[in-house]
Chains A and B, each alone.
Chain A
Amino acid sequence: MEKAIKRYMPIFVLPTFCAFILGFIVPFIMGIWLSFCKFTTVTDAKFVGLSNYVEAFKDTVFRHSFWYTALFAVVSLVVINVIAFALAMALTQQMRGTNIFRTIFFMPNLIGGIVLGYIWQLIFNGILAKYHTALGLNEWYGFWGLIILVSWQQIGYMMIIYIAGLQSIPGDVMEAAQIDGANRIQRLFKVTIPMMMPSITICMFLSITNGFKLFDQNLSLTAGEPSKMSEMMALNIFNTFYGRTGWEGVGQAKAVIFFVIVVAIGMVQLRATRSKEVQQ
């Protein structure tokens, strides 16, 4: 069978393969190489060793954006997952209208980041105006604004994953715990959560990497105001590329650093929660 299929390789694989080379492999390799070069376009690239990386680490705005992003990712991870889990628990109880509520909570997830940012900008500025201030005046307004925004956006998504997880817990396990005299809280921590670890792993992975990669919402809600203090890593990299000529190499070096951080955090997180998963 393999032989028969093999002859058709060009038809089956080639379109995806070529696009993949063009849309991912070439830009990725070029990106790594260019992070060691000084350039404005590719043709004038000159090898400069590690100086782009040195420059990137020296950039205080970039370092600030790292801490700001890390804090954001952790806070949003906790907020999103706790609320989403609670909602999933509530909406799997016997209650009228659970389907409609699920529909409503999931909806914001389908709206694009730019649109979301401007929707919430109107609301936050409307509220803050009552206290004679605005979103762009304090980096922490932007921070909590973004937390509320991404929670609103992602809670529904995580909730759906948690509901799928809850529904896959076999009923007899829960019944056995009940017969053995476990109360509600014991059942939650000793049965439900251990059984849910695969869903928890995936949700935590998604929310922490989403938090690090956040760009559209950051750009539209605060655009880094006040003076780049609410700028997150992705936006900082974008602004380094397109805001300052001559800094493209540094921007690419920052992008490589960013890539390494995102992969490392994703791996650590997966490892940490995977080890807590139980066999059913």
Chain B
Amino acid sequence: MKKRKIFSAAGTGIFTILGIVYIMPILIVLMNSFKKKVFINKEPFRLPTEKTWNSIENYLTAIDKYELLGAVGWTVFITLGSVLVILICTSMCAWYITRVKTKFTKVLYLLCVFSMVVPFQMVMFTLSLVADRTGLNTPWGIIIIYLGFGAGLAVFMFCGFVKSIPLEIEEAALIDGCTPLQTFFRVVLPIMKPTYISVGILETMWIWNDFLLPYLVLDLNKYKTISIAIQYMKGSYGRVDMGAIMAALILAVIPVIIFYLSCQKHIIKGVAAGAVKG
């Protein structure tokens, strides 16, 4: 028994050190975001001194000059909008597909499964053309693109869950005079709540961090997401402002960490559930 305790204490010690090493990269960027830009590349691992301290200037540059808050706003808008639309539309679609057995629904299901394995590069060029032609190159339009491209995984996961709901519950609702719409929203939707959370989290993680799809689809003169804004800071300009980039990285990471810490349990459960289904 005593031996056990020592082992457990040693384990905790080792993992504490590992954990600190693990979050080190983020701490280093945080530290550098308060330094003057010329010192960042020269001595990235040294704590800021009086000479190199730049207080929050880097953050102000990132926000003023590179309009980072706008980018954060659009990213929030696109992510929330897309996830909401995906959840509602695909869950309805999945319920219909599993409950009504026709050739059409069978083919649609198989196409959805197929779309999950297709890499984005396969459709990126043509998808950006379609988006341009149909005027979907706005943050509103991109929601439809995300619904189309993200439908595969979501429909697949919802279908897996709908199959496990006993038919009798829905039949009872229909016999009691519910229309299919009422049955879905009053009976099926509440039962599927855990799946909504899992799918919602997986899609949120994907869309929030996505770079290439919005980069190719959006009209970049008007709208940028965080990832695009950071890539622009580094890429297109002649002189790279390391200070502003460090600040931008931290500003990009903060919402993620808040989101993570506030619904950590659901996220970890959602990932495990999503993987088992996949």
Q: Which residues of A contact B (CB under 8 A)?
A: 1-2, 4-9, 11-13, 15-17, 19-28, 30-31, 34, 41-42, 90-91, 93-97, 100-115, 118-120, 122-123, 125-126, 129, 152, 157, 160-161, 163-164, 198-199, 202-203, 206, 209, 212-213, 215-216, 219-220, 233-234, 237-238, 241, 248, 251-252, 255-256, 258-259, 262-263, 266
Query: Are B278 and A125 within 8 A (Cβ)?
Result: no
- Nearest CB in chain B: distance from A145 CB, A: 12
Which residues of A lie under 8 Å from residue B118 when comparing CB positions? Answer: 24, 28, 259, 263
Q: How large is the interface on B (under 10, 10 to 19, 20 to 34, 35 or more residues)?
A: 35 or more
Minimal Cβ-Cβ distance residue in B for A91: B15
Q: Is the pair B231, A1 in contact by a Cβ cutoff of 8 Å?
A: no
B18 cross-chain contacts in A, Cβ below 8 A: 101
Q: Which 3 A-B pairs have the closest CB atoms?
A: A23-B148, A112-B209, A126-B44
Set A24, A111, A118, A125: member contacting B149, Cβ < 8 A: A24
- Docked complex Cα distance between A191 and B24 (Å): 36
Instruction: Knowing that A114-B211, A123-B25, A202-B276 touch, tell me 9 more A-B residue pairs with CB under 8 angstroms.
Output: A5-B96, A7-B180, A26-B126, A90-B15, A115-B253, A122-B246, A198-B276, A216-B209, A238-B121
Given A19-B148, A202-B278, decide whether A111 and B256 contact each other with a Cβ distance below 8 A: yes
User: Is A262's CB under 8 angstroms from B117's CB?
Assistant: yes
Q: What's the nearest-Cβ distance from chain A to residue B63, in Å?
A: 17
A212 and B121 CA atoms in complex are apart in Å by 11
CA distance A42 to B22 in the complex (A): 48
B123 near A28 with CB under 8 A, answer yes
A residues within 8 A CB of B245? 118
Among B123, B226, B257, the residue within 8 A (CB) of A112 is: B226
Min CB distance, B81 to chain A, in Å? Answer: 13
Chain B positions near chain A (C-beta within 8 angstroms): 4, 8-9, 11-12, 15-16, 18-19, 22-23, 25-26, 28-29, 32, 40-41, 43-45, 89-90, 92-93, 95-97, 99-101, 105, 108, 111-112, 115, 117-127, 129-130, 134, 136, 144-149, 151-152, 155, 167, 170-171, 174, 179-181, 184, 205, 208-212, 226-227, 230-231, 234, 245-246, 249, 252-253, 256-257, 259-261, 264, 267-268, 271-272, 275-276, 278
Chain B proximity of A230: nearest CB distance (Å): 16
What is the CA–CA distance of A9 and B144 in the complex, to the nearest angstrom? Answer: 19
Asked whether A19 lies within 8 Å of B134 as measured between CB atoms, the reply is no
> Known contacts A20-B148, A255-B125: does B8 contact A94 (CB below 8 Å)?
yes
Nearest neighbor of B260 in chain A, beta-carbon distance: A110
CB distance from B226 to the nearest CB of A (A): 7
Please tell me if the beta carbons of A122 and B28 are within 8 angstroms of each other in the complex: yes
With A5-B100, A6-B100, A110-B256 already in contact, the answer to whether A19 and B125 are too (CB < 8 A) is no
Question: Are A16's CB and B155's CB within 8 A?
Answer: yes
Q: By the criterion CB–CB under 8 Å, are A19 and B119 in contact?
A: no
Contact B108 A13 (CB under 8 A): yes
Residue of A nearest to B149 (CB): A23
Task: Kindly identify which residue among A25, A96, A122, A259 contacts B119, using a CB–CB cutoff of 8 Å.
Answer: A259
Q: How far is the CA of A107 from the CA of B26 in the complex (A)?
A: 11
> Is the pair A96, B12 in contact by a Cβ cutoff of 8 Å?
yes
Q: Is the CB of B119 within 8 A of A101?
A: no
B9: A residues at CB distance < 8 A: 96
Can you list 27 A-B contacts with CB-CB less than 8 angstroms, sorted by A residue number?
A2-B101, A8-B181, A16-B90, A19-B144, A19-B145, A21-B148, A22-B134, A23-B130, A23-B145, A24-B115, A28-B123, A34-B125, A34-B126, A42-B126, A96-B9, A110-B205, A115-B252, A118-B230, A123-B28, A152-B22, A202-B275, A212-B119, A213-B119, A216-B227, A234-B121, A258-B121, A258-B122
A248-B124 Cα distance, complex, nearest whole Å: 12
